[in-house]
Structure 1
Amino acid sequence: MLFNSFEFLIFLPIVITGYYSIPHRYRWAWLLSASYYFYMAHEPELLVLLIISTLVDYFCGIKIFKASKKSIKRNYLILSIITNVGILISFKYLFFFTSNLQSIFDFFGVSLISAEETSSYNFSNILLPVGISFYTFQTMSYSIEIYRGVIKPEKHLGKFALYVAFFPQLVAGPIERASRLLPQIKSKTPLSIKNMQQGIIVAAWGFFLKLVVADRLGVYVDAAFSTPDSPHNLALMLGSIFFCFQIYYDFSAYTSIAIGVAKIMGFDLIQNFNRPIFATSIAEFWKRWHISFTTWLRDFIYIPLVKRKKISRLLAVSIVFFVNGLWHGANWTFVIWSLLNALILVCEISSNKIRSKIFDYLGFSKRLRGLTGWFTGISLIILTLVFFRSPNVSHALSYLKHMFNFGSLHFNIINNYFEIFLSIVLILFTQYVFYKKGNDKIYELFINKNTYTKYALSLTYIIIMVLFAINRQNSFIYFQF
């Protein structure tokens, strides 16, 4: 079920009404049923994978906590990780691994899979479960933190199942930790007008980002990336810039809706973005982007690797970014995109002293240094995202090659100057709002105003949504991950 669908507009009021109407001790069951229904609206048959992951981690969590020997604890942790990673590999990466392995064997003239086997079964026909990367990492963090002694296991199976399947953040995050979400599931939440107001405003902002801004940018981006060998380099350049903002607004939109919907019911989800477009370095960008996932990678992969002391920080960063790329999709384009960011990050960190001396020599002020860092960082982010958006590596290389074949000033590839102008205006407006309030204080733009201003803002919002929303019920970009 898409957030930007008519079905969700019916589903949500029913869930919220039921949530506040029934006694607290039964709310977990109501939300769990709603969450399973929400997921089944996508793929009914694949709910079994979500349940398997839930049961395995619930069982392993209890066993890890009760085990007296370190070796037994480790065995149950391994069972949890193998189960989750095994499901993830089977449904998301099996075709990727087998096709690449086949390519290696083909190079040496060896056939890994016979023609008869290929024709009778194609690994690419395996259905990718929506949100599998998100809930898999969320459940694994639960088992790992019990093993580390950070948290205790949840004894109530139903409430733990709700932690795994909580519908606002089930299919595209943010990736919550048990220490944050489980106490909220168990605590009694009274009906709060303040929570409802904040939640509605944040969710409304998310719908604006998706339907008015991101999907509008997507029209130009689709046109630009459909012709990577276009002679109109300015159009390709604008397409890559628009995609940088499209993916940010699209993902930020989902997160805002998820946070807003959860807030209406009294839940506080982690903020997933902290104005990343304003970052003045690549390192700062990654601290501000997809925060719940980058902190997951830091806590469960980078820090354990560095603590071993046998692995250099450079290698640890490379491994983290390789996992980051592969997590986004079973395609070398994602891996290359992520490793390029790792390379840029390493170069940035290693050249800090040299750049500082150069800036001192040139007499750059602190503000000018920040502006230089921002321009360099956002430019590199835009370039690497060409790989992220492209279906394959050759497409990305062709796009980048023709993007720098300077000569053509034509950019109106959608034959609509007004749409292009409106897209630019919307980017500037959105960035101004983010600059003023960030991702977590959007509601202050409305709540702190007087009654008449609130009415005017509400009416303006409705008019904008009616006139400018592009509701093609486009799936959110991160649904595929």
Structure 2
Amino acid sequence: MLFNSFEFLFFFPLVALAYFIMPHKYRWLWLLLCSYYFYMAMQPSLIILLMASTCLDYFCGLKMHEHTDNKIRKRYLWMSIVGNLGMLFFFKYFIFFTESSKSLLHFFGIELFGEGGDHVYVFNKILLPIGISFYTFQTLSYSIDVYRRQVEPLRHFGKYALYVAFFPQLVAGPIERANRLIPQFEKRMTLDLQRIRRGIVLMAWGFFLKLVVADRVGVYVDEVFLDPSVHRGLPLLIGSIFFAFQIYFDFSAYCTIAIGAALVLGFDLMQNFNRPFFVRSFGEFWRKWHISLMQWFRDYLYRPLVRKLNFSRGLAMMFVFFFNGLWHGANWTFIVWGIICGLFFLIEMVTWKFRFKVFKVLRIPVESRGFKVLCNAVVFLGLSFSLIFFRSPTVLHALLYIRNMFSLDSTFINVVHDRTELVLSFMLIILVQVIHFYKGNSKVYELLEIKSPAIRWSIYISFVVIMVLFSVNRQNNFIYFQF
């Protein structure tokens, strides 16, 4: 079920109403059933994978807690890791690795099954389960934390299943940790009208970001990325910048709706974005972008590589960004994107002392507003450049895009042939960025709380009118649904 669907507009109010009516002891069951229905509305048969992952980590968690012998405990940890990553590999990466291996062998003149042989292997029908990357990492974090004795295993199977499948954040995060989310299932949630209003405002803001802004900007992005050979210069530059905003607004929209929906029900999900486009460095950007994923890589990949395997910080960081790219999709474009981001981060990390010495010698005021804006622009343009690979279907497509982007043959930017829509896209980007600068996504409701009831209701009515008039009627999936 998509957040931006009419089904969800009926589904969520019914879930919330029944949730507050029924006794506390049955609420976990209601949320679990609703979460499974929410997932099955998109891919019914693949609920089996979600339940398999749930059972595997529930079992491994209990076994790790029962035993004191670290060798036995480690066996169950590896059972969880291999089982979860095995399912993820088969459904998300098997075709990619098979085709890449076949191409590599063909390059060296080796045919895997022989030219024109009778053996035909067709794997193109393997279906990518929605949200598998997210719930796999969430269940893995539970198993690893139990192994490290950082959390107690949950003996109530139903509540553990709810932790894995909680519908607001099931499909595209944020990736929650057991010690944050599971204790909240034990709390007695009351009907707090102020909390519910804040949650609804967050949901409404998320819908605005998705339906009015991200999907509108995406029209321009789709046009220039469809065939970069027919465009030159400025429209391709604008397309890369627009995509940076599109993916930010689209993904933050999903997370904001998820956080708002959970807040209505009384749950506190972690923030996944913290104004990432107002930063002065790539390191700061990655601390504020997709926070739950980057913290996952920090705790379960980067630190073990540095502390246990004695990797250098730079090499461990490159591993993180390589797997960050691979996590996003089974395509070389994502891997190249991850490596480029890693190189930006590494260069920044290695040269920071030298740079500040140069700034000091040249008496450049590093704390001045102008210098901060310049650093912000450099980081944003670097990220926009890297995202060309993220958005492109192939590496060659991305290279063609970049080559033509640096050609100054044309300054015609109205590629969608609708000047009003183009101007509106620019205006909406500026509007959202101004709001994010002052409030971010997490505190947008504060803009309304200081207003009188009459003004608030005027804003509510105006918002409904704006959504009706300016929503882009494409019902696109959220970009991160494919991950």
TM-score, normalised to structure 1, is 0.98
> 2:208 maps to which residue?
208
How many angstroms does 1:255 deviate by?
0.2
| Residues 258-315 of structure 1 deviation map (CA, whole Å, 9 limit, x = unaligned) | 0000000000000000000101110000000000000000000000110025311111
1:430 CA drift (Å) = 0.0
What amino acid is the match of 1:346? L
**Aligned positions of 1:37-436 closer than 5 A:** 37-113=37-113, 120-308=120-308, 310-365=310-365, 366-367=367-368, 368-436=370-438
Q: How far apart in 2 are the matches of 1:191 and 1:249?
A: 31
Q: Write the letter of the residue equivalent to 2:458.
A: A
Q: Residues of 2 paired with 1:119 and 1:433: CA distance?
A: 59
Which residue does the alignment assign to 2:26?
A: 26
Distance 1:393 1:75 in 2: 40
- SS at structure 2 position matched to 1:278: coil
Change (3 A) 1:241 1:21: same
Question: Could you list the per-position Cα deviations for residues 71-125 of structure 1 after superposition, in whole angstroms to 9, with x for gaps in the alignment?
Answer: 0110000000000000000000000000011111112222224577898542222
Give, in whole Å, the separation in 2 of the partners of 1:471 and 1:207.
Answer: 13
Task: Check whether the contact 2:96–2:330 (CA below 8 A) recurs between aligned residues.
Answer: yes
| Structure-2 change in CA distance of 1:92 and 1:112 (3 Å) | same
Secondary structure (helix, strand or coil) at the match of 1:350 reads helix
Residues 113 and 119, structure 2, Cα contact 8 Å, conserved in 1 = no
Q: Secondary structure at the match of 2:230?
A: coil
SS of aligned partner of 2:229: coil
Q: Do the aligned partners of 1:250 and 1:476 also contact (CA within 8 Å) in 2?
A: yes
- Correspondent of 2:466 among 435, 449, 464: 464
Q: SS state of the match for residue 124, structure 1?
A: coil
Taking only the aligned residue pairs, the percentage that are identical comes to 51
2:442 to 440, 459, 470: 440
Query: Structure 1 runs of 4+ off > 6 angstroms?
Result: 115-119
Counterpart of 1:169, as a letter, is: Q
Unpaired runs of at least 5, structure 2? none
- Give the whole-Å Cα distance in 2 for the aligned partners of 1:338 and 1:84: 23
* Distance (whole Å) between structure 1 residues aligned to residue 20 and residue 231 of structure 2: 58
**Which one is further off, 320-329 or 183-192?**
183-192
How far does the alpha carbon of each residue in 1:383-421 deviate from its partner, in whole angstroms, 9 at most, with x for none?
A: 000000000000000000000011311011100111110
Tell me the CA shift for residue 446 of structure 1.
1.1
Task: Return 305-314 or 468-477, whichever deviates more.
Answer: 305-314
Q: Compare 351-360 and 11-20 and name the one that shifted more.
A: 351-360
Instruction: For 2:115 and 2:316, locate their aligned partners in 1 and report how far apart those are by CA, in whole Å.
Output: 40
Q: Is the 8 A contact 2:224 2:231 kept in 1?
A: no
Give the conservation status (yes or no) of the 8 Å contact 1:333–1:388: yes
Of 259-268 and 186-195, the range deviating more from structure 2? 186-195
Query: Greater shift after overlay, 42-51 or 231-240?
Result: 231-240
Partners of 1:123 and 1:51 lie apart in 2 by: 24
The question of whether the paired residues in 2 share the 8 Å contact of 1:359 and 1:369 is answered with no
3-state SS, counterpart of residue 124 of structure 2: helix
Count residues with an aligned counterpart: 481
Residues 33-87 of structure 1: CA deviation (Å, up to 9, x unaligned):
0000000011100000000000000000000011110001100000000000000
Kindly tell me: are residues 153 and 330 of structure 1, through their superposed partners in 2, closer, same or farther at Cα, counting changes over 3 Å?
A: same
Letter of the 1:156 counterpart: H
Q: Residues 28 and 162 of structure 1 are in contact (CA less than 8 Å); yes or no, is this contact kept in structure 2?
A: yes
Contact 2:212 2:472 in 1 (8 A): yes
Residue 247 of structure 1 and its aligned partner are, at CA, apart by 0.1
Q: How far, CA to CA, are the matches of 2:117 and 2:211 in structure 1? A: 44
Alpha-carbon distance between aligned partners in 2 of 1:217 and 1:265, rounded to the nearest angstrom = 32
- Structure 1 residue matching 2:228: 3-state secondary structure: coil
Structure 1: stretches of 5+ with no match in the other structure: none
Secondary structure at the aligned position of 1:229 is classed as helix
TM-score by length of 2: 0.98
Maintained 8 Å contact 1:159/1:186: no
The residue type equivalent to 1:422 in the other structure is L
Equivalent position amino acid for 2:102 in 1: Q
| CA displacement at 1:224 relative to structure 2 | 0.6
CA pair 104-19 structure 1, distance change in 2 beyond 3 A: same
| Separation (CA, whole Å) in 2 of partners of 1:319 and 1:357 | 29
Distance in 2 of aligned mates of 1:37 and 1:76? 30
